[in-house]
Amino acid sequence: MADDRHVPTMIIPAGAEISAGSDRQLAVRTPGNLVIQNSGSFSAIECVNGSLRIDAGVKVEAETVRVAETCVVAGSLTAWQVHAKKLVLERGSQAAIILLQAESVELDRQARLVGNFGSEKELSATLGRFGERLRTLAAPTAEERPVPLRKVDAGAEAGRNRRPPNGSS
């Protein structure tokens, strides 16, 4: 089979676990390093004794990411929680992480990190401080506001549209 050399190979190391998590999303747990080369949505990603790399051009969404060593993002990561010794965002990468627990963070000048809260309490306090601004952001603009519907009583509406018998208004 000459074409085999052009087909990617997936190696699942001994001790790795792949299961369906919440909302039928994948949960991946590896004993060592993991490289993600394809975009996807995960309930959990865990590298028990190794590191995680998200390649350039790859978009990963995850509820929880747990990495024993370094989490390297060359593409895009959106996560509720990331636990790692070190988070590295390479050139042009971006990460939106609500709760980040890392000993160190390295950002390239052209990388972007959004979120970075230390705890749910900190997140709640920060959002509480800017609650009014958040409500105005969430409020629809005039073009987006739906026209309010009003209930019409068919009998009353018909009576309003009838002219009085004497021709006066």
What percent of the chain has a predicted confidence (pLDDT) above 90?
53
Query: 81 in a domain, yes or no?
Result: yes
**Confidence at residue 45, expressed as pLDDT on a 0 to 100 scale:** 96
Nearest C-alpha neighbor of 27 from the set 42, 48, 14? 42
How much is the pLDDT for 156?
A: 55
* pLDDT tens-digit series, residues 99-129: 999 999 999 999 999 988 888 888 888 878 8
Has residue 35 been placed in a domain? yes
Judge whether 13 lies within some domain: yes
Determine the structural domain holding residue 12 and report its residue range.
Answer: 2-118
Does residue 154 fall inside a structural domain? Answer: no
Q: How many CB atoms lie within 10 A of CB 29?
A: 16
Q: How far is CA 22 from the centre of its chain?
A: 15
In a domain, 104, yes or no: yes
Does any domain span residue 34? yes
**pTM (two decimals):** 0.72
In a domain, 128, yes or no: no
